[in-house]
Amino acid sequence: MKRNSMTFLLAAAGMLLAGVQTAKAQKVVLHMAGNQTFECSISKLDSITFVGGDLIIEEEHEWVDLGLPSGTLWATCNVGANSPEKYGDYFAWGEIKPKDDYGWGTYIYCAEDDYYSLTKYCTHYRYGFNLFTDDLTELLPEDDAATANWSSDWQMPSHEQITELCDEWNTTATWTTQNGIEGQLIKSNRNGNTIFLPAAGHIDYQEADNTGSYGCYWSRSLCTKNSFPGHAYLMYVISSGILDGNQDRSYGRTVRPVRVKTR
């Protein structure tokens, strides 16, 4: 699941040689035939030459190709989790850090503790602080919990990507228990690959609720039904399947990131 093209590796190597490094990228490890490895400090590299063939680059976060028409690749874990069964962190829509209290009183994008004082992602003046509107209907990268916590390669899914995953032509959902955790196993009807979405429940205000019964996964898309921008689209994980819906954007919900296949 971690295979990328030569183009991606060339770009990554170019960034390293240009001095773009992180605490986790201080050396290059080449995996060779016969289970042999060769390590070299990045600081000792002068140049890299690639000659044909396919190469593999390891990344921190894994994904699954479900063969979806859009080319969307779904992550195997939630943001804040280190395995598919872990619930991970909960986020208000448009916030990038978990917190202790999820409601309008603590929501970053309202001024007066209710949805009539929105200060960002507001499409109708009635709900904007001092009649504010900005007509933004999708989260900007700096407000996307997937992008901010993982990298610019990742996003929260759009409403369209969620409805694509929920489409019974594309996937089959089976309620199951995986390593003691209940949730939906989503199997592609196109290539047979799977992802597991744990029933992580939700947090409204201060208490986690309904864990093990159902889950709510944010999209990056604002819901503007009836000109009301106080809700955002999400995906429900329930015992009978998965479906899209919308909820109060100040509440705490989990995030399963996506990325798009490069061709």
Q: Say what the pLDDT of residue 10 is.
A: 40
Instruction: Kindly report, residue by residue over 37-54, the tens digit of the pLDDT.
Output: 667 664 555 555 544 444
- pLDDT of 7 strictly over 70: no
Rounded CA gap, 206 and 126, in Å?
A: 28
Q: Say what the pLDDT of residue 63 is.
A: 98
Looking at residues 186-215, what average pLDDT do you find? 96
Under 8 Å between Cβ of 198 and 181? yes
pLDDT band at 12 (very low <50, low <70, confident <90, very high): very low
Using alpha carbons, select from 154, 25, 24, 140 the residue that is nearest to residue 79: 154
Q: Say what the pLDDT of residue 207 is.
A: 86
Instruction: Kindly report, residue by residue over 70-93, the tens digit of the pLDDT.
Output: 999 999 999 999 999 999 999 999
Question: Domain locations in the chain?
Answer: 1-59, 63-260
Looking at residues 46-67, what average pLDDT do you find? 67
Rounded CA gap, 181 and 202, in Å?
A: 15
Q: Say what the pLDDT of residue 15 is.
A: 40
Bridge-based pairing state of the strands 202-204 and 207-209: antiparallel
Under 8 Å between Cβ of 205 and 101? yes
